[in-house]
């Protein structure tokens, strides 16, 4: 029998395989793989739980965002109503002020008209008094008196015309 290197390689291979089975390396590798699989499953379960929690939190925040949008719409609507009310109030106040000024101007015009009428009456009285004074001073005869009377009337008319213009 010729023992060569191939034989010894085969013997050492068989011893090696025997030692592996004797030391229960395949069971240890299996247990190690089982533990790794178990850890991976736990991590997947934890990841799924975190995913579910994240979905719940996302749902809550989406609900809050929806509520916030609704509140913003309500606030905008209220602000628009308030702005309209302020515009209406300001407009009414403006119209009241204009109306009061208009009434004051009309009252002032009435006062000025009354004063103008008084002034015209006073001027007419003054003119009449002056005319009568002239008539009395120059009352010598009837012709002269008629002449003075006519000229006084003409003079009164001229003065009245000048004052009315």
pLDDT in tens, 34-73: 999 999 999 999 999 999 999 999 999 999 999 999 999 9
pLDDT in tens, 118-154: 888 888 878 877 777 776 666 556 666 677 778 888 8
User: What's the token pair of residue 148?
Assistant: 């003075």
- Whether pLDDT at 22 is above 90: no
Q: Is there a domain that residue 142 lies in?
A: yes
For the chain, what percent of residues have pLDDT higher than 90?
49
Residue with tokens 């699989």: 37
Q: Is there a domain that residue 124 lies in?
A: yes
Q: Which domain holds residue 142?
A: 25-164
Higher-pLDDT residue of 32, 140: 32
Number of structural domains found in the chain? 1
Count other Cβ atoms within 10 Å, centred on residue 149. Answer: 17
Q: Is there a domain that residue 64 lies in?
A: yes
pTM of the model: 0.41
Q: Is there a domain that residue 72 lies in?
A: yes
Q: Is there a domain that residue 46 lies in?
A: yes
Q: Which residues contact 119 (CB under 8 A, 6 or more apart)?
A: 163
pLDDT of residue 164: 62
pLDDT in tens, 70-124: 999 999 999 999 999 999 999 999 999 999 999 999 999 999 989 888 888 888 8
Q: Please say whether the beta carbons of 127 and 156 come within 8 A.
A: yes
Q: Is there a domain that residue 14 lies in?
A: no
- Whether pLDDT at 165 is above 80: no
Distance CA 83, CA 81 (A): 5
């Amino acid at each position: 029998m010729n023992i060569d290197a191939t034989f010894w390689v085969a013997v050492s291979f068989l011893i090696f395989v025997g030692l592996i089975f004797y030391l229960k390396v395949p069971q240890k590798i299996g247990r190690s793989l089982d533990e790794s699989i178990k850890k991976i499953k736990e991590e997947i379960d934890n990841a799924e739980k975190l995913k579910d929690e994240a979905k719940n939190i996302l749902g809550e925040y989406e609900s809050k965002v929806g509520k916030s949008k609704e509140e913003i719409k309500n606030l905008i609507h209220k602000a628009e109503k308030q702005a309209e009310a302020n515009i209406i109030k300001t407009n009414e106040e403006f119209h009241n002020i204009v109306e009061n000024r208009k009434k004051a101007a009309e009252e002032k015009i009435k006062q000025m008209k009354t004063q103008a009428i008084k002034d015209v009456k006073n001027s007419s009285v003054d003119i009449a008094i002056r005319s009568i004074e002239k008539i009395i001073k120059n009352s010598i005869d009837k012709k002269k008196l008629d002449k003075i009377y006519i000229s006084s009337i003409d003079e009164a008319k001229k003065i009245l015309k000048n004052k009315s213009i």
